[in-house]
Amino acid sequence: MSVLNFLGAAWSFEPWALIFAAALLASYAALPGFRLNGRSLLFSSGVLLMVLTLVSPLDHLGRNYLFSAHMIQHILLLLVIPLMLISGIPESAADKALRLPLAGAVMRFLGNPVPAWLLGVGSMWVWHMPSLHDIVMKNESLYIAQQICFVLSGFIFWWPVFAPARRARLSPLAATLYLASACLGCSILGMLITFAGAGLYPAYANPTDSAGILSYIRNDLCITPGVDQQIGGLTMWVPGCLIYLAASMATLARWYASPEPGPAGIPAVEGPLAKADSYARD
């Protein structure tokens, strides 16, 4: 099969992906304060990107041929798409939800940076254990669960940094540390995958060539299983880390743009006043 044919034919109709997308859109439309504006456009393009990631030839490649394609999918689902979804939620809706007793409690628990960090970084580590990855590749329902888990844990991971409700956010410096440590966690896994010997994920070593593009991948693109694994590991490591980096830059930018709390606490009188052993709290 030629590449163009493959790109045309390898779209898969995944009912669960469409149902998940529809559920996301429906609950978004039901949010209080829903309006058609830039935010809702961002949210719906996030959903659209998610559907594309799950039904396009990328999915076919990732499930049958290339670990690196799987990794691109993974980064999109865990880091990019949830960020688009979260940025699309109107502030007022999140504010109201936080005030509801049950939903508020759940959100506060999940929005706590420790479980959020563990979910965000842990979902990378756990799902990439070679044995588990092998099982997931063979089991359709586990695969579905994995994809949904990526999106949800990504959503929870970004919440403490980019929550639409300001009071749910970490302070900028804490957020930078949160992101930097997540970047470190993701980098270490990327390093392991990159520098481990080839064949960490045996499913990709000898794929069943259902679409007939294997010789194109192996011979024309020169992507051997070893190279494939390296591209995968490096994709997690370098571009993955750049997303965290960009996010921490955005946090700092937001911090510097917001007004300084003001000279409250400092007596507005001239002359040296502060005792040398009282300290600032910022």
Partner 1 sequence: MSSRIPIVPENTIPLPSLKANNGLLSWVASVDHKQIGIMYLIITLVYFLLGGLEALLIRVQLAHPGNDFLTPETYNQLFTMHGTTMIFFVVMPFLIGVGVYLLPLMIGARDMAFPRLNALSFWLFFFGGILLYYSFFTQSGAPDVGWFAYAPLSEKPFSLNKGPTYWALGLLASGIGSVASGLNNVVTILTMRTPGMTMRRIPLFVWMMLVTSLLLVFVIPIITAAFAMMLLDSLLGATFFTPAHGGSAILWQHFFWGFGHPEVYILILPAFGIISEVIPVFSRKPIYGYEFVAASTVAIGLLSLGVWAHHMFAVGLGNVANAYFSLASMLIAIPTGIKVLNWVATMWGGRINFATPMLFATAFIIEFVIGGLTGVAIASVPIDWVVTDSYFIVAHFHYAIFGGSVFAIFAGVYYWFPKFTGRMLSETLGKWHFWLTVIGFNMTFFIQHFLGVMGMPRRTYTYYDMPYWGSMNLISTIGAMILGLSVIVFVWNILASLRHGKPAGDNPWNAWTLEWATTSPAAVENFELVPPVRGRRPLWDLAYPDMPDEPGAKIV
Question: Which residue matches tokens 């809706």?
Answer: 93
Q: Does 227 bind partner 1 (CB under 8 A)?
A: yes
Quote the least distance from Cβ 188 to partner 1, whole Å: 10
Answer for which of 7, 42, 196, 245 binds partner 1 (CB under 8 A) is 245
Tokens 């000898």 locate to: 206
Number of residues binding to partner 1, judged by CB under 8 A: 46
If one asks whether residue 248 binds partner 1 (CB under 8 A), the answer comes out as yes
**First and final C-alpha spacing in the chain:** 62
Amino acid at 48: L
Q: Return the number of the residue (105 or 266) whose C-beta is nearest partner 1.
A: 266
Q: Is 280 in the site for partner 1 (CB under 8 A)?
A: yes
Cβ(93)–Cβ(83) below 8 Å:
no
Among 65, 122, 187, 201, binds partner 1 (CB under 8 A): 187
CA angle 38, 83, 176 (to 5 degrees): 120
Binding part of the chain for partner 1, among 128-136, 155-163, 212-220, 260-268 by CB under 8 A, reads 260-268
As given in the structure block, the two tokens for residue 195 are 């520098």
Please identify, using beta-carbon distances, which residue of 211 and 247 lies nearer to partner 1. 247
Query: Using the rule CB under 8 A, is 33 a contact of partner 1?
Result: no
Q: CA geometry: angle at 119 spanning 113 and 122, to 5°?
A: 125
Distance, in Å, from the CA atom of 49 to the CA atom of 100, rounded to the nearest integer, reads 31
**Near partner 1 by CB under 8 A, which window of 21-29, 49-57, 112-120, 243-251?**
243-251
Of residues 250, 279, 239, the one with CA closest to residue 169: 250
**74, two tokens:** 């993974």
Rule CB under 8 A: is residue 197 a binding residue for partner 1? Answer: no
Nearer to partner 1 by C-beta: 103 or 238? 238
- State how far the Cα of 193 lies from the Cα of 176, in Å rounded to an integer: 26
Name the residues that contact partner 1, by CB under 8 A: 173, 176, 180, 183-184, 187, 194-195, 226-227, 230-231, 234, 237-238, 241-242, 244-245, 248-249, 252-253, 255-256, 260-263, 265-280, 282
